[in-house]
Amino acid sequence: MEFHKNHRISQVLQLSLLIVLGLWSLRRAESSTYPSTNCRAHTVSLKDFGGVGDGVTSNTEAFQKAIYHLSQFGSNGGGQLVVPAGKWLTGCFNLTSHFTLYLQRDAVLLASQDMNDWPIIAPLPSYGRGRDSPGGRYSNFIMGSNLTDVVITGDNGTIDGQGKMWWDKFKAKELKYTRGYLIEIMYSDQILISNLTLVNSPSWHVHPVYSSNVIVKGITILAPVDVPNTDGINPDSCTDVRIEDCYIVSGDDCIAVKSGWDEYGIAFRMPTQHLIIRRLTCISPDSAVIALGSEMSGGIQDVRAEDITAINSQSGVRIKTAVGRGAYVKDIYVKGFTMHTMKYAFWMTGNYGSHPDDHWDPKAIPVIDKISYSNMVAENVTMAGQLEGLHQSPFTGICISNVTIGLAKSKKPAWNCTDIHGVSSSVSPQPCDLLSEKGSESGPCPYPTDKLPIDNVEFKECSL
């Protein structure tokens, strides 16, 4: 009896221990934390709103209901929508303020393939029309407008635009309107997009426009290299932007800095300024690692790019503009750039053309000034620099220092410069005469030493 009783007690103890241990490990899994600019008081799962992650059921309504529910907590601690592992098919949806969308590991958002899920929205005022065709544009997949404090993050979950349908229709000229972007955040402040994989957008992947205080960090962007306009990240008429730790493979520019198109952008007058780009790896065989333009009619000023790796890309930094754009591209600083297999290390084009309509102003001459490139190594490059300014207004203040470019066998000249002015030091192969040797004792090209306010934004540990 005595023995049996003790044995039973020990069994009960063992069982309780197992339960306690089990609960503890469950709690540990549930209470995982993640870094974010702001934490939220209210958390719901997409499943609480009828979401089904089978890859077939439409979750458009679940997303809209969940986000509408959380929008009520904007002034009361904010809301967080967790998307669990699974394949979540959905039409486009709008975000709300003081809100976090969190995609768990193996959560995949799949963009609907039903054209009825993509209503037509107004063109951007600084473009005057859609970029693909005149008139409006199809909705973006994930949209935010007039918001404050929005976070889209996760444990490397995936947002899949399923763009093939759009690329095929675009190539076949079957689309009446302009393709949507994967994520577009408009007229908003305090945005964080981090720790996600974005794939196969119908067109650009990340488009912050008319916004400020934007951080894009730890994002992988993957699209086939032969599909049209699948740019990575396009800050457009934005102030205080920080893009860091991103890996981008795409059919168009990895990063394209923009600010509106010809007379529409000039009238809208909203520049992109105070932009940091760092620790970027890019593969873009037909486009640029960092493009400035071609739409730059609100101006582009104070861009600081460093620690960039390019592999098999058409050009390193490319400035694209045209008569009719007006405005300026100035105070551009790039340093610490490694390139392998490139057509051009540097490329500037003043005659890009491409106008929204016939109403562009031939007197709107863009000004390109103070462009500074230093500390770069490139190998297997076809041309070191194709630098073509504007005859009416040569590009000025170009400075290139401490740059070594290994050329591939080619019949092309290493440098071809027209309508530009600048200086160079410690550059190999020897630059064109328009980049006059300034001597290494005069120091490297300038790079700002002050810190931009967006660099002071810190992350908190938030729990799910």
Ligand X SMILES: *[C@@H]1O[C@H](CO)[C@@H](O)[C@H](O)[C@H]1NC(C)=O
DSSP-assigned letters across all residues of 325-392? --SEEEEEEEEEEEEEEEEEEEEEES-----SSTT--TT---EEEEEEEEEEEEEEEEEEEEEE--SS
**Cα four-point dihedral sign 376, 344, 279, 437:** positive
| CA pair distance 35, 32, nearest whole angstrom | 10
Residue 377 interacts with ligand X (CB under 6 A): yes or no: yes
Nearest to residue 218, comparing CAs of 146, 151, 143? 151
Provide, for the chain, the percentages of residues in helix, strand and coil under a 3-state DSSP scheme, each rounded to the nearest 5. 15, 45, 40
Spell out where 15-85 has E strands.
33-36, 42-45, 54-58, 79-83
Residue 148 interacts with ligand X (CB under 6 A): yes or no: no
Q: Which stretch binds ligand X (CB under 6 A): 5-13, 139-147, 168-176, 325-333?
A: 139-147
Residue 402 interacts with ligand X (CB under 6 A): yes or no: yes
Cβ at position 412, least distance to ligand X in Å: 6
| CA pair distance 189, 112, nearest whole angstrom | 28
Residue 205 interacts with ligand X (CB under 6 A): yes or no: no
Region 22-81 residues binding ligand X, contact defined as CB under 6 A: 34-35
Region 287-306 residues binding ligand X, contact defined as CB under 6 A: none
Give the one residue of 94, 104, 133, 354 binding ligand X; rule: CB under 6 A: 94
Spell out where 250-354 has E strands.
255-257, 272-283, 288-292, 300-320, 328-349
Query: Quick one: which H or E segment has residue 68?
Result: helix 60-71
| CA pair distance 326, 321, nearest whole angstrom | 9
Residue 372 interacts with ligand X (CB under 6 A): yes or no: no
Residue 431 interacts with ligand X (CB under 6 A): yes or no: no
Give the one residue of 155, 286, 307, 455 binding ligand X; rule: CB under 6 A: 155
| CA pair distance 403, 85, nearest whole angstrom | 46
Cβ proximity to ligand X: between 63 and 73 the closer is: 63
Strands 42-45 and 86-90: unpaired
Catalytic hit among 132, 160, 252, 302? 252
Residue type, 139: S
Residue 238 interacts with ligand X (CB under 6 A): yes or no: no
| CA pair distance 83, 425, nearest whole angstrom | 53
How many residues bind ligand X, per CB under 6 A? Answer: 33
Residue 369 interacts with ligand X (CB under 6 A): yes or no: no
Cβ at position 375, least distance to ligand X in Å: 4
Is residue 17 exposed (0-12), middle (13-18) or buried (19+ Cβ within 10 Å)?
Answer: exposed
Give the one residue of 59, 140, 190, 197 binding ligand X; rule: CB under 6 A: 197
Residue 104 interacts with ligand X (CB under 6 A): yes or no: no
Cβ at position 342, least distance to ligand X in Å: 8
Residue 413 interacts with ligand X (CB under 6 A): yes or no: yes
Cβ at position 380, least distance to ligand X in Å: 4
Give the one residue of 146, 428, 436, 463 binding ligand X; rule: CB under 6 A: 146
Q: Which stretch binds ligand X (CB under 6 A): 249-257, 287-295, 324-332, 369-377?
A: 369-377
358 noted as active-site residue: no
Backbone angles phi, psi at 14, to 5 degrees: -60, -45
Give the one residue of 177, 203, 388, 414 binding ligand X; rule: CB under 6 A: 388
Residue 408 interacts with ligand X (CB under 6 A): yes or no: yes
Give the one residue of 376, 414, 434, 445 binding ligand X; rule: CB under 6 A: 376
Binding site for ligand X (CB under 6 A): 34-35, 92-94, 121, 143, 145-146, 153, 155-156, 187, 194-195, 197, 217-218, 220, 341, 375-377, 380, 382, 388, 402, 408, 412-413, 416, 418, 444
Active site residues: 252
